[in-house]
Amino acid sequence: MTWLCYIIAYRFFPPFPLDNSLQDKVVLITGGAKRVGAAICRLLHAHGAKLMIHYRNSDGEARALQSELNLKRPDSAAIIQGDLLNVAKLENLVHETISRFGQLDVLVNNASSYYSTELGEISEREWEDLMGSNLKAPLWLSQAAAPELRKQHGCIVNITDMHVERPKKGYIVYNIAKAGLVTLTKSLALELAPDVRVNAVAPGPVMWPEDNPQFDEVYRQRVISQTLLKRLGEPEDVARAVRFLIQDAPFITGHIIAVDGGRSLSL
């Protein structure tokens, strides 16, 4: 076969399906600059989506990701900084997304604070931070985005946690916040139907928290041993579940998908 035949064969019969299933869709994702958020951004972008990537402090990571994605497809990714605890500024995230791309089709509430809070020592600051990032901000952002999402017949995907069903000891405020996010997901599905679908993904052991000595090698091996698949998940596992709910689940709303390797069944 000549080189020209190879080119023709690749063009019309590629080794993997060419997929622009999210082409012309605009996604606003909170906490999208690194870790699981960045994996979601990369996968949705690979399927054709345009992205508004929110970050709080990760300026360097956000700019690097924006450059990476725009190198692959010019003017397809923008970034926006914001403190999700500042409710007065949350509408701006939605308005800037629409101003930049002309529409908003998907809201992914991914940003999250995560740390332990011991009963008897919980401070109001910890309460405001954990409830604000994990529950309050998703509600206010969803409320701000609702008119545009109704117009576009779009969807919302929230990132919850497997520990909603089995609370993690020592993380009482975080547990409460994520449990609230599950109820928010179902409540929004009721409120925004039939125009907007609202679902959530509940990750299990996918990435270890950064700079936390509690998650030492002994702890990690114990968690993996409790996982039915006997391995750690990947950020891409969560990203694929998010993409499924956006693109391939037109008759699913108010549902929580566990991406935990079966660990929630063994606790």
Residue 212 CA, distance from chain mean position: 22
Average pLDDT estimate for 163-181: 93
Domains parsed from the chain with CATH numbers: 22-265 (3.40.50.720)
Helices (H) and strands (E) in the chain, counts: 9, 7
Average pLDDT estimate for 176-187: 98
Average pLDDT estimate for 134-154: 98
Average pLDDT estimate for 202-221: 80
The pLDDT confidence band at residue 15, using thresholds 50, 70 and 90, is very low
pLDDT at residue 226, rounded to an integer: 86
pLDDT tens column, 59-102: 999 999 999 999 999 999 999 999 999 999 999 999 999 999 99
Provide Rg for the chain, Cα atoms: 19
State the average pLDDT for the chain: 90
pLDDT at residue 214, rounded to an integer: 73
Higher pLDDT, 16 or 108: 108
Contact 259/204 with Cβ under 8 angstroms? yes
- What's the pTM value of the predicted model, to 2 decimals? 0.90
Find the range with the poorest average confidence among 11-15, 72-76, 132-136.
Answer: 11-15
* Cβ-Cβ contacts under 8 Å for 111 (sequence gap 6 or more): 30, 31, 37, 54, 56, 84, 133, 137
Burial of 136-165, coded b for 16+ CB within 10 Å and e otherwise, reads: bbbbbbbebbbebbeebebbbbbbbbbbbb
What pairing do the DSSP bridges indicate for beta strands 77-81 and 50-55?
A: parallel
Contact 227/205 with Cβ under 8 angstroms? yes
Active site residues: 174
pLDDT at residue 12, rounded to an integer: 39
